Amino acid sequence: MTTPLRPPPKKNPERRTLSPTIPPQARSRAAMGLTAAAAEGRFAMQVCGECGAVLYPARDACNKCLSVELSWQDVDPRGELLAETTVRTSTNLYFRERAPWRAGTVRLDAGPIIICHIHGDVPPRARVVMTNRLDRAGQGVLLAMPETPAPDMEDDPQLRAMTSDPKLRRVLIVDGRSDNAPAIAKALHKAGATTIFVGEAEGWRPNPHRAALQAVPGVQVLPLDVTDSASIRELAGEIGGKVDILINNARFIRPGGVLARGDTAFAQQEFDVNVMGLMRLAQAFGPGMCARTADGVNSAVAWVNILSAYALVNMPEFGSFAASQAAALSLGQSLRGEFRDSGLRVMHVFVGPTEDDWHQPLPPPKVAPGSLANDLVKGLQAGLEDVYCGDVAKELVARFRAGPKVLEREMTMGGRS
Amino acid sequence: MSALAGLTQALASGAVRVVDLTHTLDPDFPVIVLPPEFGQCARFRIEEISAYDERGPAWKWHNISMGEHTGTHFDAPSHWISGRDVPNGAVDEIDPGVFVGPVVVIDCSAGAAQDDDYELTPKIIEAWEAEHGRIPAGSWVLLRTDWSKRSGAEYLNLRDDGAHSPGPTPEAIQLLVHDRDIRGFGTETVGTDAGQGGHYTPPYPAHFTLHGAGKYGLQCLRNLDQLPPTGAVLLAAPLKIKGGTGSPLRVMALIEN
């Protein structure tokens, strides 16, 4: 039985905050296929294209038939725990600080015997469901989970070390004027977030979402404008040490590509909010969050950017906006590198057209705020790096992976299609 | 003694005092809000270039950005479609003599305190003239509403049907422009027109009438309660922006103590 997490006591101001450490991150290029699958929560193994063997650990040629036609495929995650041990100390700082730590071997129904981390609720010799997760170094690792869910199982220390669970954490939603802000706040509250700071730009304008936000327990609406460096600095000064998860939902969007607009005014606003805003937020909140990734139950865990799926490939009907999203995606990748040593995770939530004023003339399917909020919170609970929310985003990324050039040509048909 | 020597002496002795009618350029100061599909007035923004640090060890400076119509600002005739063909209608073309001149203040603060949509009417202007004399040609006319004492959401006072703030009726501004030949019209609100000014005929009568006649506008003024009804001098020089339709500026008044 997992001991349920309890709200942490107020921090002792005389004690030094633990410095972040991360587990070993060296991997072969072949092994990083596991990481890529873990980033989106898939349990995948290398499968031989010649003989069909499921391979573990990752390698460059099949150990059964020597074929090099190996690909990462989703496989049956079920298996049986063969042996286990509890590591009580380690020369590795990360594990030393987190001991005891369960590890063992599992025979997958799909074939191979694998070495993995073991959830505390898995009894000896039990049937398990394997999960592939990112550890705090951002590398894919395997964690055996109990076959049937157990109470409070999300609070298991080994699992929580790998996820970005909002439970008992404090979250900042950057833009309280966004149509998705109330839904995200509600979903976070439901997931156990204790404090939900919500930024609101331009308090001199009415915010139609304010009442809905303030009705969510734990919500505090505070002034924040991502285009105003001083406002970001000020808020980071006030609450920067209490933000465990930052959700950047600020977005400026107008229809049109390059020629549809006679000027660069909207494009400037798109880049100012969607790209520079992210940069300003990261400069103000990033260092403080990176310093608090080992700060106990409510340690800093995740930085979330909500991006358009058209960050992957441009959609000329929203061409300028899509360009800003591609730039924001690229900045997010930079942040992944810059946050790496701290273990602070950058999660990107890719969405297709959303249910709002600017997408009103577009046909469905469109992502409703509630769906976005649910996928976002589930992504945090699972510790993902990439979430594709809604059918359009899922389809788009599949087509992108199948052939970026083909997709580009499909997206740029012009008016005669 | 020359007139200017007399003035500087009066300033030094305190017989003439300078009143600042300007709001601080602050990133959080309201700007006019248009329907979102239209282009918008940029908010004032300030970014540090260096602050005696590795980016510039001995000096501090900022890059600033804003719209021409951000903060306490001046409206040139070319701001409005009615003034697009007015000669010398851009801020860099205006005779600098325009920037210093007499000013009268019509106090509507009591009415504006009762009614957010308080209107300046010809009747109010005529009543003011009955007390203070006819508005001299070439004067700035400032509408005092004490609106500058409001802050936050109270300032634009936006509701579902738009902004609610005082301003002149079409007849009032026509009286001032055509019959009194004023230099320009200034307000404490975000525009020279009332919050609901778009519903008059013509829409936005202050903008339409003032600029069509080559007159000027000032808005987001403050400290009008420190000015006498007549007898003050206004200093309002916009930045010399090539082809500029307006400009943030420092507006000052000279008053006799």
Is A321's pLDDT higher than 70? Answer: yes
pLDDT band at A261 (very low <50, low <70, confident <90, very high): confident
Task: Write out the residue range of the structural domain in which residue B164 sits.
Answer: 15-41+68-256
Q: Which residues pair with residue B65 across a beta bridge?
A: B45
Question: CATH code at A292?
Answer: 3.40.50.720
Q: Averaged over A87-92, what is the pLDDT? A: 95
- What is the spatial distance between Cα A148 and Cα A88, in angstroms, rounded to a whole number? 27
Q: Which of B45, B55, B65 to mutate to test the interface with A (most CBs of A within 10 A)?
A: B45
Domain count, chain B: 1
Q: Is A258 exposed, middle or buried (0-12, 13-18, 19+ CB in 10 A)?
A: exposed
Share of chain A above pLDDT 70, in %: 100
- Domain assignment present for residue A317? The answer is yes
- The nearest alpha carbon in chain B to A262 belongs to B39
Tokens of B95: 């005779």
DSSP letter (8 states) at residue A20: P
Whether A145 and A260 map to the same domain: the answer is no
Is A359's pLDDT higher than 70? Answer: yes
Averaged pLDDT of chain B: 97
Whether A200 and A341 map to the same domain: the answer is yes
Q: Which residues of B42-70 are buried (b: 16+ CB within 10 A; e: fewer)?
A: bbbbeeeeeeeeeeeeeeeeeeeebbbbb
Q: Per-residue pLDDT tens for A2-37?
A: 899 999 999 898 999 999 999 999 999 999 999 999
Question: CATH code at B211?
Answer: 3.50.30.50
- The nearest alpha carbon in chain B to A265 belongs to B39
Q: Per-residue pLDDT tens for A151-183?
A: 999 999 999 999 999 999 999 999 999 999 999
Q: How far does B115 lie from chain A, in Å, by closest CA?
A: 20
Whether A230 and A303 map to the same domain: the answer is yes
Residues 6+ apart with CB under 8 A from B205: B168, B169, B170, B173, B174, B193, B197
- Domain assignment present for residue A59? The answer is yes
Measure the N-to-C terminal CA separation of chain A; round to a whole number of Å. 60
- Domain assignment present for residue B22? The answer is yes
- Domain assignment present for residue A2? The answer is no
Per-residue confidence (pLDDT) for residue A417, from 0 to 100: 54
Chain A residues touching residue B152 (CB < 8 angstroms): 203-204
- Domain assignment present for residue B133? The answer is yes
Whether A234 and A265 map to the same domain: the answer is yes
Residue where one domain finishes, among candidates A98, A130, A160: A160
Residues from A in contact with B at Cβ < 8 Å:
202-206, 223, 225, 227-231, 254, 263, 265-266, 269, 357
Whether A136 and A273 map to the same domain: the answer is no
**Partner residue facing B46 (CB), from A206, A230, A357:** A230
Chain B residues touching residue A205 (CB < 8 angstroms): 30, 33, 153, 156, 158
Look-up of token digits 């808005």: B219
Q: Do B46 and A229 touch (CB under 8 A)?
A: yes
**In Å, how far are A34, A146, A165, A358, A359 from A80, measured between CA atoms?**
20, 10, 27, 51, 49
The beta-strand segments (E) located in A29-147 are 44-48, 54-55, 70-74, 78-87, 101-108, 113-118, 127-134, 140-146
Q: Averaged over A99-128, what is the pLDDT? A: 97
Cβ proximity of A320 and A261 under 8 Å:
yes
Q: How far does A338 lie from chain B, in Å, by closest CA?
A: 21
Q: Determine contact: B197 vs chain A, CB below 8 A.
A: no
Is A47's pLDDT higher than 70? Answer: yes
Whether A255 and A212 map to the same domain: the answer is yes
Tokens of A208: 């139609």
Cβ proximity of A105 and A115 under 8 Å:
yes
Is A64's pLDDT higher than 90? Answer: yes
Whether A106 and A195 map to the same domain: the answer is no
Whether A154 and A200 map to the same domain: the answer is no
Whether A72 and A194 map to the same domain: the answer is no
- What is the spatial distance between Cα B196 and Cα B205, in angstroms, rounded to a whole number? 11
Q: Is B79 labeled as catalytic in the residue annotation? A: yes
- The nearest alpha carbon in chain B to A224 belongs to B28
Q: Do A205 and B30 touch (CB under 8 A)?
A: yes
Q: Averaged over A322-351, what is the pLDDT? A: 98
Say if strands A54-55 and A44-48 run parallel, antiparallel, or are unpaired.
Answer: antiparallel
Q: Is A178 exposed, middle or buried (0-12, 13-18, 19+ CB in 10 A)?
A: buried
- Domain assignment present for residue B190? The answer is yes
Task: Write out the residue range of the structural domain in which residue A218 sits.
Answer: 170-411
- Domain assignment present for residue A131? The answer is yes
- Domain assignment present for residue A362? The answer is yes
Low-confidence stretches of chain B (pLDDT < 50) are: none
Share of chain B above pLDDT 90, in %: 98
Chain B residues touching residue A265 (CB < 8 angstroms): 39-40
pLDDT band at A126 (very low <50, low <70, confident <90, very high): very high
Residues of B numbered 6-45 whose beta carbons fall under 8 angstroms of chain A's beta carbons: which are they? 27-28, 30, 33, 36-37, 39-40, 43, 45
Chain A residues touching residue B156 (CB < 8 angstroms): 204-205
Q: Per-residue pLDDT tens for B28-72?
A: 999 999 999 899 999 999 999 999 999 999 999 999 999 999 999
Per-residue confidence (pLDDT) for residue A416, from 0 to 100: 66
- The nearest alpha carbon in chain B to A208 belongs to B160
Catalytic residue among B69, B73, B79, B207: B79
Domain count, chain A: 2
Q: How far does A21 lie from chain B, in Å, by closest CA?
A: 30
